């Protein structure tokens, strides 16, 4: 039976409680069709039994924050809470049971009269019978397990988003495809609504620098990238602020990383290369120990008597190096120190004479071969 608290009219069923049939009809009509405005301007509201029985639909006024609407332990087969507010939620409460009705949504409920007896579902206004629909933020966050997804909200995952101006930290909004404009160096790429595994395809409209960072922006080759207009890249959020560039494609079709020699990989080179020789300067005293870090092709001027020693192999145990020497007017005798073997032509101190020094160091042994070029 209903719980509208309408006294029975028949004698003996409700002694000393009489009412007209109009009063009973009015109570029933109100419970089935009336709307009660609940004033939340003073905070949370607890409905009395009389208030709860007096309407089918409850709407808020004065809602300035999330408020609780507590209903009494009265049986109601159906009632609605229509949250007409634009920004704040209403938490419908019966004992320990709560259901949140977000701004702009409708909650449909029934109560069974027990301490915690509240059951309800939340609907979107104008949803034509569809349950509560997810916002684009809820779709991007991917944690809601009850709301339905509309095609429009789903498009937030893949549609073309608004162009984003380059900045030290770039923030990508809704969408899965973006143009980045400008030429400001980028050190970090984030999402306005972050979710591990979320990808973004990006096109760069100008030349800028992407700065590699092993903790926040991992780039191919672990090195910075200078973009060109039309370059494309695919980024994915791996873990929180850790973003990885999965793919980078240059607009002109050239590879981002050219073929390189690796210390642990066998390679077959089919092309040659050129190099820029390093100027080691004028040597006129002391000991000259060439540094391979400056390059394996170097040149120097003999400007006075000095000593030539084999270069260090550092953490390795082998190297080859060629040094071109030219005597100037102050050229002096060049002596050698610590070479295992010295071969080749005789060195001179004649102004303008040139020589090539071919140096090989291997497994603790070193060889210098001198070739006169005149």
Reply yes or no on whether the pLDDT at 359 is more than 80: yes
What average pLDDT score do residues 87-106 get?
95
Tokens of 291: 């540094």
| Cβ-contact 156, 207 below 8 angstroms | no
| Cβ-contact 70, 46 below 8 angstroms | yes
> Each residue of 29-60: pLDDT tens digit?
566 779 999 999 999 999 999 999 999 999 99
List of residues 6+ apart from 245 with CB closer than 8 A: 210, 217, 218, 219, 220, 225, 233, 234, 235
Tokens of 36: 């009660």
- Candidates 24, 22, 33, 21; CA nearest to 5 is 24
The 10 Å Cβ neighbour count of residue 219 is 20
Reply yes or no on whether the pLDDT at 207 is more than 80: yes
> Each residue of 320-355: pLDDT tens digit?
999 999 999 999 999 999 999 999 999 999 999 999
Reply yes or no on whether the pLDDT at 119 is more than 70: yes
pLDDT computed for residue 22 by the predictor: 58
Reply yes or no on whether the pLDDT at 187 is more than 70: yes
Average pLDDT, the chain: 90
Q: How far is CA 87 from the centre of its chain?
A: 28
Between 58-72, 143-157, 187-201, 360-374, the lowest mean confidence (pLDDT) is in: 143-157
Between 5-19, 50-64, 288-302, the lowest mean confidence (pLDDT) is in: 5-19
CA 373/CA 274 separation, integer angstroms:
22
CA 195/CA 237 separation, integer angstroms:
7
Whole-structure pTM over 0.85, yes or no? no
How much of the chain exceeds pLDDT 70, in percent? 88
Question: What does the radius of gyration of the chain's CA atoms come to, in whole angstroms?
Answer: 41
Q: Give whole-number Cα distances, 304 to 280, 316, 358, 359, in Å.
A: 14, 32, 21, 21
pLDDT computed for residue 19 by the predictor: 53
Q: Which position has the token pair 């953490």?
A: 315
Pure H helices in the chain: 21-33, 49-53, 136-141, 151-154
CA 39/CA 30 separation, integer angstroms:
19
DSSP state of 365: E
pLDDT computed for residue 31 by the predictor: 61
| Cβ-contact 355, 325 below 8 angstroms | yes
What average pLDDT score do residues 77-105 get?
95
Identify the H or E element spanning 110: strand 105-112
What average pLDDT score do residues 305-328 get?
96
- In this prediction, residue 23 has a pLDDT band, given cuts at 50, 70 and 90, of low
Tokens of 103: 């701004």
φ/ψ (deg, to 5) at 52: -65, -35
Q: How far is CA 117 from the centre of its chain?
A: 44
pLDDT computed for residue 1 by the predictor: 42
pLDDT computed for residue 139 by the predictor: 86
């Amino acid at each position: 039976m209903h719980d509208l608290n309408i006294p029975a009219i028949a004698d003996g069923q409700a002694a000393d409680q009489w009412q007209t049939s109009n009063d009973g009809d009015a109570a029933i009509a109100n419970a089935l069709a009336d709307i009660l405005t609940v004033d939340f301007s003073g905070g949370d509201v607890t409905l009395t039994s009389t208030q709860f029985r007096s309407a089918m639909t409850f709407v808020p006024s004065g809602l300035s924050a999330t408020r609780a609407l507590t209903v009494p332990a009265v049986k109601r087969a159906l009632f609605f809470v229509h949250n007409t507010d634009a920004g704040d939620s209403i938490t419908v409460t019966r004992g320990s049971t709560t259901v949140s009705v977000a701004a702009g949504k409708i909650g449909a409920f029934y109560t069974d009269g027990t301490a915690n007896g509240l059951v309800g579902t939340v609907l979107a206004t104008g949803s034509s019978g569809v349950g509560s629909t997810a916002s684009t933020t809820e779709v991007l966050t991917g944690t809601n397990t009850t709301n339905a997804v509309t095609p429009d909200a789903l498009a937030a995952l893949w549609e073309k988003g608004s162009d984003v101006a380059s900045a030290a930290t770039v923030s990508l909004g809704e969408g899965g495809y973006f143009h980045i404009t400008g030429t400001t160096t980028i050190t970090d790429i984030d999402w306005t609504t972050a979710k591990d595994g979320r990808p973004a395809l990006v096109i760069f409209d100008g030349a800028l620098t992407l700065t590699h960072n092993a903790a926040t922006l991992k780039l191919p080759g672990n090195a910075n990238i200078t973009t060109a207009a039309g370059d494309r890249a695919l980024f994915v959020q791996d873990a929180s602020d850790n973003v990885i560039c999965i793919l980078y494609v240059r607009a002109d079709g050239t590879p981002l990383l050219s073929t390189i020699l690796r210390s642990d990989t066998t390679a077959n080179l089919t092309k040659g290369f050129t190099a820029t020789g390093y100027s080691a300067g004028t040597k006129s005293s002391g000991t000259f120990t060439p540094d391979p870090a400056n390059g394996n092709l170097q040149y120097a001027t003999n400007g006075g008597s000095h000593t030539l020693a084999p270069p260090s192999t550092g953490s390795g145990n082998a190297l080859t190096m060629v040094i071109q020497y030219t005597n100037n007017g102050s050229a002096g005798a060049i002596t050698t120190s610590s070479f295992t073997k010295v071969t080749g032509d005789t060195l001179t101190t004649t102004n303008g004479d040139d020589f090539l020094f071919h140096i090989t160091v291997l497994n603790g042994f070193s060889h210098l071969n001198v070739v006169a070029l005149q």
